[in-house]
Structures are given as structure tokens and as C-alpha cells.
Structure 1
Amino acid sequence: MNIHSFFYVTQLPKGIHLWRCTTISDLMINEQIRDREVRLIGENGEQLGVMSSREAMKLAQEAELDLVKIAPTAKPPVCKIIDYGKFKYEQTRRDKEAKKKQKTVELKEVRLSPNIEANDLNTKMTNARKFISKGNKVKITLRFRGREMAHMNQSRHILDDFAKALEDIAVVEKPSKLEGRSISMVLTEKR
């Protein structure tokens, strides 16, 4: 049998002791199950019906396995007779497998200035094209400093040209928007 909790005693006034249990796992197992009645599922997945938790515990001990509460909110709670260590191992393996298949999309940023030269703009477009082809989103930020703030609206065409140059592989997810001292927009891969 697996024991997955620690017991400790706290001293209360007048010499009364109180046993407390801190659980390591999120599921209740074996002696932690204190419900009067439980619905039991056998080790092969067969329904064994509703019975007291003591009877269920006895059946689990006879099979030399653990009694695990798998659905605590059900009426009555559902318990299953399984090998808890093997169950946790399978669960972590499934979680790792799901994480491998999950694709994370990063947000890359390309910063521009209002008086950017054509060659520099082409270099930034090449970088953005690489990011988008790898499946990432790209945030294009046009930053203004000092007196450039007076000519914000005249510089908005830079972002439009940038989006037009990448329209073969990208679409505008968020259109250009003024945020403090900068205008930014987000491009994402074309589906």
C-alpha cells in the first residue's frame, strides 16, 4: 500500500491532541477517504456498485491495490481500485505527451523609427518575414522621440507599407493603434 500523506500532532489547550493530515497528492487515497458510502469501480473497470468506504477499502486491500477517489463531487463519490503509483506515472506521461504536441506562439517585436532608411526597412521586413514563417506573431512598433511626436500621423504610412510588403505571408491581426509615444500593430501568419 502507498501512503501519500504526513501526519502530525498539534497541541491544543487543556492537553487535547489533534491529528492533522497534510496531503501530498490532489486525489484522496486509502485511509483519507472518509465518506460513508462510495460508488466503487473495480481494477478492470467493472462497476461494483454502492457500498461503504470500509468495504471498498477491504476489497482494495485484498487485491493489494489502492482505493482512489476519482470523482469527489459525485453523489455518492466515485472510487476506483488501482495501483496509485502506476496511475500517477501514466498521468504524468500523458501530460508530458500533451505538452510536446502543444505549439507555443511567441510575440516578436520589430521596432522602427519615423525617419528609417529604405535599406534598414528592408532588413526589418526580412526579419519579420523569418519570424512569421516560423509561426510567431510579430508586433511592429513605430517609436517617436522628441519633435517626431508632432508628425505622428504623417508617419503612419510606414506601418501600412510594412503590412503591404508582407501581405503575401501575413495578415494584420491588430490594426495600427497609438499607444503613448508609439504606434504599433500585430501581424500574424496567413492561414
Structure 2
Amino acid sequence: MIPTAEALKLAMDANLDLVEVASDAKPPVCRIMDYGKLKYERKKKTSKNTKQHQVQLKEIRMRPKIGKHDIEFKLKSARKFLEQKDKVKFNIMFRGRENAHHELGRTILGDIQEQLTEIAKVEQAPTMASGRNMIMVLAPR
């Protein structure tokens, strides 16, 4: 335990600062260090964490009787999502008599998968989810 005046003199001689580390302790704990450097490192540490991208799951819904142009339009938005590092969930909804033709949904999802191969990988292969929906999830490469 060093008196405060002596600790201040030691810090000034070393061209550093006397920084209180634990004010709750009896007696309070201080450290001789470069306070400007400490502040800089703390700021750098907090700013590094804020630049992380939060991955979102974007959903694109379709029906099995979707037109060619509509698929191209949906592909364009899916490509945009994948370039922004978000995952894309393709959902094909079957209603009524469409339920008898699940192969239409599989071919549509297969074509989509083929066209997005260079920027996406399949995270979940096309599967029938809850009776009426066929789902495929793509993640960015």
C-alpha cells in the first residue's frame, strides 16, 4: 500500500496516469497506466461488435401454378437477400387439388436451386412441412 501522493509522483515520473480500478475496495485500488490507451482500446472493442450482420431468414411464398416471369421476379429478390448475407426460405403452398401434384413443387424448387447455385448452398432440401407446404432453405455461400 502506497500513499496517494507518492503514487501520483511515480505515475508522473513514468509519464503515465494513476487510474482508480476498484473504488469499492477498502482501500481503493489504483493502477499506474496510460489512460488514453485504455479508453481507445475500450472504444475499439465496442465498435467492433456493432458492425456484425444479424442473419435474417427471408421467406418467399409461391404456388405450384406460378408463371415463369413470376419465378424470375422472385429469384431476383432472393438473389438480393442472399447478397445481403440473409438466408432465404422458399415456401410453396398447395391448396385443394394441387396437393396431388407435389412433383410440380419439387421441379420449381429444383430450378430455383439450380439458378442460385453460384451464390447459395442448400441448407434444407425441399421437404413437405405441414401437410400443405413444401419448404426449401438456402444460405449464402
TM-score interval (norm. to shorter): 0.5 to 0.7
- Does residue 81 (structure 1) correspond to residue 30 (structure 2)? The answer is yes
**Structure 1 pair 152–91 and aligned structure 2 pair: CA distance change class (3 A):** same
Please state which structure has a larger fraction of its residues in helix: 2
Q: Which runs of 4+ in 1 moved over 3 A?
A: 59-65, 86-92
Q: Is 1:60–1:67's contact at 8 Å kept on the other side of the alignment?
A: no
Distance apart, 1:67 and its partner CA: 4.2
Please state which structure has a larger fraction of its residues in strand: 1
- The residue number in structure 1 matching 2:139 is 188
Alignment of 1:137-148 (within 5 A): 137-148=87-98
- Determine the C-alpha separation between the residues in 1 that align with 2:86 and 2:3: 51
- Determine the C-alpha separation between the residues in 1 that align with 2:86 and 2:97: 33
Structure 2's unaligned 5+ residue stretches are 8-17
- The residue number in structure 1 matching 2:80 is 130
Distance apart, 1:98 and its partner CA: 1.8
Q: How many residues align?
A: 122
One-letter code aligned to 2:20: D
One-letter code aligned to 2:137: V
TM-score for both structures, normalised by structure 1: 0.52
- Determine the C-alpha separation between the residues in 1 that align with 2:127 and 2:4: 65
Say which is worse superposed, 116-125 or 105-114, in terms of deviation: 105-114
- The residue number in structure 2 matching 1:152 is 102
Alignment of 1:11-26 (within 5 A): none
Output the aligned Cα RMSD.
3.1
Structure 1's unaligned 5+ residue stretches are 1-54, 70-78
Give identity over the alignment, percent: 32
Distance apart, 1:157 and its partner CA: 1.2
**Structure 1 pair 99–154 and aligned structure 2 pair: CA distance change class (3 A):** same
**Structure 1 pair 66–164 and aligned structure 2 pair: CA distance change class (3 A):** same
One-letter code aligned to 1:186: V
Alignment of 1:67-106 (within 5 A): 67-68=21-22, 81-82=30-31, 93-106=43-56
1:13-39 alpha-carbon deviations (Å, 9 max, x no partner) = xxxxxxxxxxxxxxxxxxxxxxxxxxx
TM-score for both structures, normalised by structure 2: 0.67
**Structure 1 pair 163–61 and aligned structure 2 pair: CA distance change class (3 A):** same
